[in-house]
Structure 1
């Protein structure tokens, strides 16, 4: 395999998922986790991986694996506990952490909002954009002289869908109209934060979108229309205002029908304040959606697959590296001139230490190898991909799913905090050292 010079090989985490409380302000997730039944197993992020204290160990892991990049987030509720005023001690911590990453040879990829907004704020209100702008300014004032890659917002669709439409994530609101409005405010926050960042020479600002290729279940016109509608709902509603010419007309019409009124929260000038500010696009890819037509309630489509005997993670998600390849090629053709970075890609595999003390997660090794090969194939087909950041560096708190799913290259014993590099982490280190060449492991069979 061959990858461009300067290609970033790395992994990612987020503050709430690994840090533990340790003096941060209350976030919307702290409040949400106290709801009975909100989190599988009743867990929360009060301890997580204890990384706020054990951050030096985490930097050593980054160094041991030879990662050239590390994606992390500054905890919004830590930096601005009350949502309005910055805590210098929190910024001191992230400054030390960033310096340590650079000393370890890892490029920092910094996420500003990875879902842990202060409990005093809500994306349902437009005022959250101003609060986010102040937060971005506080972090940039400290770190923009050392951090090139900035992710403003992580997965706007998931914030809107799970946080405000279905109520399955913080803040636990279940209202369709509020969800659409919240998603718009998240995008406005991206534009405002990007303007802050671009005042600092050399910074690159982008948003990380959860992108799901949408395929029709059959060749029928109805199922093809369902896949197109799903693509608008999941992908284009966010891609187009960020990288294109504003919100797509077909989805604007859909929302007006579904809500029974116009989108009056999209004010004159809003789309111009969102677009034209992305120096790159972060691509979070896990799987695809197979769609069929359905009665509109409120969507005239439904997810029906993939079904049958396909390779899956332990969470039941289809493993389809080919869809990643096609996604990257399609994005580069649709938005030429916008570099791409894989900001999340990974799978749930529940392997734990065996009698020899090691974690033999062969399925994650095959997953890694096959998805990296898909990225290389996309680059050969003309996609401008600048990096691959595996999700995640270590097992961590997986939001409403609690501590059951394990995504990490590093196993975490949550009772003790002990870290153990899995076989997949060792494999990834060898792959990085080889410039993207997959080490020969004949006992590992490819998926699919």
Structure 2
């Protein structure tokens, strides 16, 4: 049995009480762990040691979808797995929520700390069986070495946290050792976060619109509204550079509401036959008042509901399937259409197409890019298109860039195309010109 497995409120470190134990995980509580870390860093001999900061990658999804009792059971199981990895003399603590840390008093070598971190990532990525539910999470780990990376407890903890953030930012399920340049990246992230929080009030967001056309006849059917951030110093910031941060810090819901209201107002200036497609992020879809937000956007703009299409991702539908189906059904009572975005790239399931009240499936651009070079991608596109037709769903191919791809999609029976072959996204002041140009092109072709 390891030292950590035998910890109790009376456990000691260098003759001093370690402090209370977290009841859920059996690990040291935050104050006890940080106290032990501080004592270790204050020792006169300054012997090197390693600190590991650990964060569970998908704990919130499990906790939200399966409930807090299952979440607590998962934390208990995580505590057991952490205790099974460490040696007598090592200290493991729960810092709060799904954040943990391990102190390796006699391990000042980077390779030893990395070996344990890799073992932790592997062990925490294996499935957990929790009261009849199977949960798969994962973990990211940041490593800092005393006194090489920092010579006091506070700075060492910050260094480990910076390394942990780098691991999560680069894809999760990773191990990263602290490097000085991580601090500069974190400062840049903080500046970006501050700018992002101010962007709505300063009117820095704008929408660009990418046309969607019928493959069979070439007629314009609508536009997808795409968010852009025009920063006074950074220029036009693409969504990939700020949307994940907006989701992380809780701004994606108000930003998403702004996009919805603005897109609906803009669509009222287009011909009545055209729809507008608006992306709904997973946190926004999970909001209890989404129905009211959509209804208000339609009422305020005067846009008929059938001209609004909400694009949701597979991730949005996974966390609470029953509630997600109810949300889609309520939205459709307004007359709004529902589209499943990026189909095939996440946890694709045929039950989603069968059980959810959908109107459209969007085939991800990664498959479209390869339909002329990979037989398996072409087979997937054909199958999704045929399945959509059988279920009464329209299909839209994203990322169409060549006439050859368009010809393949026409042969497969795909409904609509969207991509650079038709047009790049354009600012709102160019939409009317785009509508006229596409209409003229259709007349010419006829």
Q: TM-score, normalising length from structure 2? A: 0.38
Higher relative contact order (CA 8 A, sep 6+): 1
Structure number with larger C-alpha Rg: 2
**Larger proportion of helix:** 2
TM-score, normalised to structure 1, is: 0.38
